Amino acid sequence: MLSIINFVAITSFIELCNKLRLITWSVRGAENLPIRPQGMVLVCNHIQWHDIPLIGWGLPLSHRPWWLAKVEIVNSLFGKWFTMMQVIPVKRGQRDIQAIDHAADCARNGGIVVIFPEGTRNHDGQMLQGRGGTARIALRGGVPIVPMAIVGTQRKFWFSKRQLIIGKPYYPEVREGDPTSEKIPASEMSRLTDEIMLKMCELLPPEYHGHYREKMQSYQQGT
């Protein structure tokens, strides 16, 4: 109950700031969100810390999400508060099976999991190489992936102009290996990760494709 109150308080504050024109934030494509109680994995590029309140504010209350975040946050002074806000801690730099299982179980049971596949903030808006794990969570949970993208003023919070763009959901398909187990070749996981990142790039202006610039050109020619 307290987590819902905190969530509503934060999003209400953002809404107030928006109405006062202290920030100018908007959302496009909310109609693409699967109807609840369908579980899902939301993926988004990560630029600044205020990506998190933007996403939280941009989603309907019915889609209040879980978040994958580095374990250092949960172990910080405000760790208990972050835990109440539905944060799943992840040990960065290693394959955290426990976090993947937790997130997959959450999605399978109707939860919404937000993941930043780049694994860290890119600061300048240029897409970084995606990290594995996201596709595995969706496959194990049997849920769709919803690509999202944030565009607009990158660095500042106050008087920023930002937009959250929500793309169409899709179910990842495994061409090699067993999608419900660990037996998926590394090359196939790499392909699935690229697919996620390219679907996010489709929502971004070309100048922000970064690491995926060349792959995006080939991808668009193929489609």
CB 123 within 8 A of CB 154: yes
Output the pLDDT for position 85. 75
Q: Which CATH number fits domain 2-222: 1.10.4190, 3.40.1800, 3.30.70, 3.40.1130?
A: 3.40.1130
Output the pLDDT for position 79. 59
Quote the CA–CA distance of 174 and 183 in Å, as a whole number.
11
Output the pLDDT for position 69. 79
Output the pLDDT for position 148. 98
Show the low-confidence residues of the chain (pLDDT under 50): none
Residue located via tokens 């037996």: 183
CB-neighbour burial class of residue 222 (10 A; exposed 0-12, middle 13-18, buried 19+): exposed
Sequence-separated (6 or more) residues with CB below 8 Å from residue 179 = 139, 140
Sequence-separated (6 or more) residues with CB below 8 Å from residue 176 = 184, 185, 187, 188
Output the pLDDT for position 80. 66
Q: What pTM was estimated for this model as a whole? A: 0.92
Quote the CA–CA distance of 5 and 108 in Å, as a whole number.
25
Percent of the chain residues topping a pLDDT of 70: 90
**How many C-alpha atoms does 19 have within 13 Å on its Cβ side?**
6
Output the pLDDT for position 20. 98
Output the pLDDT for position 84. 67
Quote the CA–CA distance of 106 and 211 in Å, as a whole number.
30
CB 166 within 8 A of CB 61: no
- SS3 assignment, position 153: coil
pLDDT per residue as tens digits for the range 130-157 = 988 899 999 999 999 999 999 997 678 9
